Structure 1
Amino acid sequence: MSTHSIALLVLLALTVFWGVGGYNRLMRLKNSIADAFNGVDFQFKDRHDLLLKLTEAAGEYLHHEPSTLTALMQARSDSSTAQDAVRARPSHAKLIQELMDAEQQLNDKLDKLWAASTHNLSMLADPKIRELAQQLITTQSKLAFGCQSFNASVGLFNAARRQFPTLLIARLFGFSAAANLVIGQDNV
């Protein structure tokens, strides 16, 4: 074997090892996005459970406004469906956007519930309602913290994806950009 052939084989081997290393790095970063979403996912579930309890408790006071309660439960269901889709593919930007849209609708419906409750002072004085509202505030804070962790993982993945020569591997294997998760605050 000539020196030229050996040099070509070494260059080819280095290129293959570099490609495998770049692919593995992108996969590791993509998996870290999924791991970070697990913490956010738990907070979403907790929030949705609290909203169910809140709707049940508020139903005793807002029986004259069934559409408000129904709309909140539908928005909760839509958000849960979007959450399930993201759980399967947490680095998919379109699914993250759909989850953010569903959460915004849920926040809007929750705002309407609180607006309807302003006319019902006995509801606002109910210790169960007050406790659920406080738990929602706490859960929202935990959710915001989880989103920060998720977004940090997204930032690392997207930065690695844009770097040359990893950019070539990302394009070759279809690693598309991931999206940040931004959830609005409840008006609890």
Structure 2
Amino acid sequence: MTGFVIFLVAVVIIILYVISIYNQLVKLKNRFQNAFAQIDVQLKRRYDLIPNLIDVSKQAMSHERETLQEVIEARNMAHSALQEAASSPGEPKIMQQLQKAEARLQNAMSGFNVVVEAYPDLKANQTLMQLNEELASTENRIAFARQAFNDAVMFYNTYRQSFPPILFAAPFGHPMDAALLEFEDKAKIQQAPKVSF
């Protein structure tokens, strides 16, 4: 009789432990999905600012149509990739598509900023300056949100890959690791000027 009770207690402990593994996987997945939702909000904010930037610049940059068109196309492509990523955050293939779309948008925006530098009147435009300031602020928010997402993904992947959760992850609906979201950083590290006497 005592052997049966010990067996029963052991089975209950194992079941409770397996339930805790399931709950932890769900909690960590929900955490990185919520973190991606924050990225989603900030990227949408950026995508909403870009058409305003283009509208302000259109008249002054009428013969720079190709640059403006490239920014618009890259923005639309990134917006579509974001919508797809929002439905499956962390899925490697979808995250890679979003990364490529964001890289294209960053390149287009860099080209746009170079062209704006050639127009002093446009550079001094108050509305354009405000939009650029909002865009820079949004970029910082995106960087913070991306870091939070990547941290949450790392916690999820670490837990999922550890033993014994790895034994239960696939059967519990967590068949693969979540992918990090990494954008190309255009900021270059500036070196200190060399001084010679």
> TM > 0.5 between the two?
yes
Deviates more, 1:10-19 or 1:76-85: 10-19
- Once the two structures are TM-superposed, the CA of residue 111 in structure 1 deviates from its matched residue by 1.1
User: Does structure 1 residue 165 correspond to structure 2 residue 164?
Assistant: yes
**2:8 aligned with 1:14, yes or no?**
no
Instruction: Show the 5 A alignment for 1:21-40.
Output: 21-40=20-39
- Letter of the structure 2 residue corresponding to residue 88 of structure 1: S
- Rounded to whole Å, the distance in 2 between the matches of 1:59 and 1:15 is 66
Identity level (%) = 28
Name the CA distance, whole Å, in 1 between partners of 2:37 and 2:177. Answer: 19
Query: Which residues of structure 2 form unaligned runs of 5+?
Result: 188-197
Matched, 1:178 2:182: no
Offset at 1:55? Answer: 1.0
Q: Which 5+ residue runs of structure 1 have no aligned equivalent?
A: none
TM-score by length of 1: 0.90
What is the aligned-residue RMSD (CA, Å)? 1.8
Q: If each structure's helix is expressed as a fraction of its own residues, which one has the higher value?
A: 1
Matching residue of 1:68:
67
CA distance in 1 between counterparts of 2:167 and 2:18 reads 9
Shift of 1:98: 1.3
Contact 1:140 1:186 in 2 (8 A): no
After superposition, what is the alpha-carbon deviation per residue over 1:24-79, rounded to whole angstroms, capped at 9, x for unaligned? 11011000011111221111111111111111111111111222111111111111
The alpha-carbon deviation at position 6 of structure 1 amounts to 4.5
TM-score by length of 2: 0.86
Deviations 1:95-134 (A, max 9, x none): 1221111111000111111222232222112111111111
* DSSP-derived class of the 1:102 partner: helix
